[in-house]
Amino acid sequence: MNNKKLQLLFLDILTDDLKLKKEEERAVTEGPLVEIFRRKLGLTKNELIAFNVCIKKLPSPENYHGIIIGASLANPIKGEEKPWMKKVYTFIRKTISHQIPLLGICGGHQFVVRAIGGEIIYNPNGREFGTIPLTLTKDGMRDPLFRGVSENFLVQSSHKCMVKNINMKGKLLASSDLCAIQALAINNHTRTVQFHPELSVRSIRALAKRYKETLIKENFVTPQEFKKLLLSIKKTGQTEKILLNFLNYFVLPNKK
């Protein structure tokens, strides 16, 4: 695609349960998740177009200058996948084959890896949640996705699954103590991150409150420690650059 009007697609893979989706968005993001991306990227509704994979037939990726795939409540683990998830894998493979800029975030990160033959597992180290430190690899420090980001930086995180391996060439860009594969460069056009560059302190705290009982049941936190967890969630400072870097160094060059 090569017209003057920017067309960036936000592929919404949060859940196929529309009632749950509305509850999640009302509690955590105070509205459709795509609106957060529009604000962070400074784009209009006509420039960043939302598409719910569970409502309509998937579009052709070649109709867009770039694609962002967001978080998901579905885990792309072999044997647990629903039919709609496998359709997303096909869409991802087509996107990659057409060399269209693609950014997978959290669930999107895992879906991309699964689509190209990698393996997703439940993290044996347990859930990773809250504001956590990441470290860029040497490749990460050179990658345009992390331009202007420090070697060590903070991110917002919420996931219990992780990438175990990938079955194609890719570069590791960032790691954390509990999750070795936090960011990947799959090729010149495809990037994935396990963390949430889009979510604010308010959103992560709201997520913690929404899943308080789950966090306690998993022994991630005790009832007495929960308030301390909320206070430990803080501004990350640099992660907004990652979204803008994807727009400026991957999507916009593809528009020319």
Task: Spot the catalytic one: 65, 109, 179, 198.
Answer: 198
Say if residues 12 and 53 touch (Cβ distance below 8 Å).
yes
What 8-state DSSP symbol labels residue 168?
Answer: S
DSSP readout, 28-61?
Answer: IISS-HHHHHHHHHT--TTTEEEEETTTS----G
Task: Spot the catalytic one: 54, 106, 161, 179.
Answer: 106
Alpha helices in the chain (DSSP H): 18-24, 33-41, 83-97, 107-115, 138-142, 201-210, 212-217, 226-232, 239-246, 252-255
**106 part of the active site:** yes
**62 part of the active site:** no
Say if residues 10 and 185 touch (Cβ distance below 8 Å).
no
Please enumerate in sequence order all residues whose Cβ is within 8 A of that of 4, keeping only pairs 6 or more positions apart, or say none.
Answer: none
Backbone angles phi, psi at 26, to 5 degrees: -65, -40
Of 105, 99, 89, residue with least CA distance to 10: 105
**109 part of the active site:** no
Q: List the catalytic residues.
A: 106, 196, 198
